[in-house]
Amino acid sequence: MACVEDLNKEIVLSGASFKEAREYVEAHCIEIYYVEPGFRLFEKHIIGIPPIAIGLDGDMVLFPFTKPCYGTFLIRAEHAEEAARLRSLGLKTTKEKK
Amino acid sequence: MTEDTNKQEHATLFLGCPEVPVQMGISLYLSYRLKKSGRLVTIAANPSVIKLARVADPERHYMDKMIDLDRCIGDFAEKTRSTDIAILFAHNDAGITYAATVRYLHPGRLVLVLFGHHAEELVSSVDFPCEMIVEKAVHDPAGLKKKLDEVFQWPA
């Protein structure tokens, strides 16, 4: 399992609001899974406003990554193992706001 | 994990980016007040805030238990840590995002302190239940102090 810092990644959005990052995933990905805050992705507990959208395209994973001083980044990383794990978990594929 | 005693209430302060000066001073004050009122206090903060706190309070009179912010949230997610009161400071969208995360992971009392230049604009992005303190404070902590004193009603 790779840590976020060690991933070969592309930053799709930087300094975005969390909402902007979610909207980007929903507008650009066909395969989307929704997770809750604290969900473990790339060895980190994801920070986010539920429901948190993660997009998949083959082995590419598109996900938000929030840092206190820099806002939310939307990151695209190729990682077959994590993509397969996400597909295997039976996650929600539709947005159900809590 | 809530600390060793069942009698003391445990408060956790979640501090984000320290770029707005008022956060450090008011959080030192709040930690002092919470401890003085008999609560156990943990500070969850990013590394910059922890460095500032260690320099400002070298003998740990006000902030003794400190933990990395993301590690603390991870512990909440793994259910190896909990608190009675969560108090979050937010002055930007990332702060609201962290607050929403803590709201999801912590079912108890949550006080959200919105401060800084955009405090009032941030209110509309808070769509989860919490007690909210809103003050456009950047350098002067007096307004925030007054509101925190009202919310917590410190014993004399």
Q: Does B95 touch chain A (CB under 8 A)?
A: yes
Residue B6 backbone class (left: φ over 0; alpha: ψ -120 to 50; beta: rest)? alpha
Q: Which two tokens stand for residue A67?
A: 């840092």
| pLDDT higher than 50, residue B77 | yes
For residue A68, give the nearest of B16, B100, B105 by CB distance: B16
> Inter-chain contact B104–A69, Cβ cutoff 8 Å?
no
Q: Which band of pLDDT confidence, cut at 50, 70 and 90, is reported for residue B7? A: confident
Q: Does B120 touch chain A (CB under 8 A)?
A: no
Distance CA A20, CA A30 (A): 17
> Inter-chain contact A68–B96, Cβ cutoff 8 Å?
no
Predicted confidence at residue A98, as pLDDT, reads: 45
Q: Does B74 touch chain A (CB under 8 A)?
A: yes
For Cα atoms B80, A52, B106, give the angle at the middle one, nearest 5 degrees: 30
Residue pair B9/B37 in contact by the 8 Å Cβ criterion: no
pTM for this model (two decimals):
0.93
Query: Residues for chain A: how many in total?
Result: 98
DSSP letter for A98, please: -
CA-closest candidate to residue B15, choices B39, B40, B47, B37: B47
> Inter-chain contact B73–A45, Cβ cutoff 8 Å?
yes
Region A4-13 average pLDDT:
87
What 3-state DSSP class applies to A19? helix
Chain A segment 17-46 residues within 8 A of B by beta carbon are: 17-19, 36-40, 44-45
Predicted confidence at residue A24, as pLDDT, reads: 97
Complex ipTM more than 0.85, yes or no: yes
